[in-house]
Amino acid sequence: MQNFEEKPFVSISRDKYDISSTGSDTNKPDEENTEKDEIYTSLIKDCLGDLIQDAQISSSLVDSPVRLIAGEGGLDFNLERILKAQGQDFEGSKKVIEINKNHELIKKLPSISSELQKATCRVLYEQARIQDGEMPADTKQFSQDLIKLALEI
């Protein structure tokens, strides 16, 4: 069964799906903020470097600042978990980080120091991993970043 009422099933952990036409209120992309979008995506790409495949603005996030999705050609998260459980040499593919440009934390990123930007981006990345059921990749760095951010409050 690949369809329901003539609509195909798709994995929401992939980057190629469109939910803008579902529900009662439609989400239309905001054409006016492409310059700000570029600031957010390039800042997060620069801070996270090789940890991610790409950064893009999300049209589906509401409460969370970021989430990880499988990039084009990447494996589904559950399939990666199965492969990791079977073979210890399996690394998995890099993910695409989707950004909620309307979240207050994302809006504050450009105005903080570069050191805090990097710490915040790493915490956001690890937080997205935790939401996906994964452990932080570097628990020591994650802890240090949390302490750094807490000291700035």
Write down all domains in the chain, each with its CATH number in brackets.
11-18+30-151 (1.20.120.790)
Q: Cα–Cα distance between 62 and 128 in angstroms, integer?
A: 14
Cα separation of 133 and 75, whole Å? 16
Residue 105's nearest CA partner among 125, 88, 89 is 125
Mean pLDDT of the chain: 83
Q: In this model, does residue 143 exceed pLDDT 60?
A: yes
Measured between alpha carbons, how far is 49 from 33 in angstroms, rounded to an integer? 24
Assessment of whether the complete model's pTM goes beyond 0.85: no
Residue 136 CB contacts under 8 Å (≥ 6 apart), including other chains: 126, 129, 130, 142
- Output the pLDDT for position 131: 92
Q: What is the pLDDT of residues 89-128, one digit of tens each?
A: 777 788 899 999 999 999 999 999 999 999 999 999 999 9
By CB atoms closer than 10 A (0-12, 13-18, 19+), residue 134 is middle
Of 12-26, 61-75, 132-146, least confident by mean pLDDT is: 12-26
Tokens 């439609």 label which residue? Answer: 26
Are 122 and 48 a contacting pair, CB within 8 Å? Answer: yes
| pLDDT band with cut points at 50, 70 and 90 for residue 7 | confident
